[in-house]
Homo-oligomer: A and B are copies of this chain.
Amino acid sequence: MDAPHLAVVGGGQLARMMQQAAIGSGIRIRLLAEGPDVSAAQVVPDRLVGDHTVLADLERVCEGVAVVTFDHEHVPPEHLRALAAAGHAPRPGPHALLFAQDKAEMRARLAELGVPGPAHAVVADPQDLTDFAGRVGGFPVIVKTTRGGYDGKGVWKVDAADEAAEAFASGRTLIAEELVDFRRELSAQVARRPSGEVVAYPVVQSRQDDGICREVIAPAPDLDAGLAAQAEQIARTLAVELDVVGMLAVELFETSDGRVLVNELAMRPHNTGHWSIDGSATSQFENHLRAVLDLPLGPTAARAPWSVMVNVLGGSVTDLEAQLAEVLAQVPEARVHLYGKAVRSGRKVGHVTVVGDDLDQVRSRARLAADLLENG
């Protein structure tokens, strides 16, 4: 088999969808997967099973491969530096990825850059937390682990300092953030390649339930043009200033008083960009591959006035593929994406996108299709 063009660490659905894009472009991926039958391992023949926290496993997947990219942000920074020192190109690089791995580093850097975000402070104990709450108008406030959280894990809304006892007891570094009074959540995505080119996707609206992305509307309906431009500009600025290579997602709050504040960063294809597979001229997965391989980036314009993506979370339907017949019969226009994952309650196991001219209809059709895959 010819040498791979790209190593990908992590075998989740993001790597699976990267492979779908890679097939079209003739790009050969070598995968480091958590197990032989995880989502992406089902569709990438050139795969090794290993642990992304073990340097030797990372070295194995990178052997003979120049560029390495990631399904997630959990590779230890020291391992990324070791790979770089050995002549590989982790993209994004460890100096950039740090700001997606560590929320305290991210908040500090964004403050330096003058990018708007919620008030925040690293808190070492309940007294720190109480002091912080006092400065932002009192409880409730948000407490997060600075590292390792995702999909709502490692995030708590606390009404009093003692509610954070468990978080403090974990021994992990915590950051407190003001509870933002927001109208909705937005996401601004850009792709950036090492040679500098940046392309931006339309700013989208996302709805999170219990910290898990549930529904994305592209573009964000009725978004003030000035705010949309500001959100895009924040994403462009961060991509350049943090030296991101690949996709960057900037999750934002649109506050009730009409500002945007940065909530989270992700340096990889992101759930808020899945709509782009069916709704954009170039999917986020293809542009991520192009960006990390330093190829010209593709156009990001929407193909239709509206795209709505609804996540499929594990529900009462256990055989998703068997349920396809029902979904496609009732919602023939649905673009159904299944990840090859075993169904567990609340787990992301797929998504559905519908595109069209009428937002209400597109949204109700996408919701119907997702509901049929969750609840039958």
Contacts and interface: CB of A to CB of B under 8 A. Distances in A.
A296 B325 contact: yes
A91 to B, nearest CB: 16
Given A328-B295, A328-B296, A28 B42 contact: yes
Name A's interface SS. loop
A285 to B, nearest CB: 11
A23 B25 contact: no
Contacts of A43: 19, 23, 43-45
B332 A296 contact: yes
B20 A24 contact: yes
A85 interface: no
Interface stretch (A95-103, A141-149, A242-250, A333-341): A333-341
A5 B45 contact: no
A16 interface: yes
A299 B332 contact: yes
A41 interface: yes
Interface residues of A, number: 46
Interface string A297-327: 1110001000000000000000011001100
A10 interface: no
Nearest to A26: B338
A1 interface: yes
Given A37-B1, A45-B41, A333-B281, A325 B295 contact: yes
Closest 7 interchain pairs by CB?
A26-B338, A296-B328, A296-B329, A45-B45, A20-B23, A1-B37, A23-B43
20 contacts: A1-B37, A19-B23, A24-B277, A24-B338, A25-B321, A25-B324, A26-B320, A26-B321, A26-B337, A26-B339, A26-B340, A41-B45, A43-B45, A44-B45, A281-B333, A295-B324, A295-B325, A296-B325, A296-B329, A299-B333
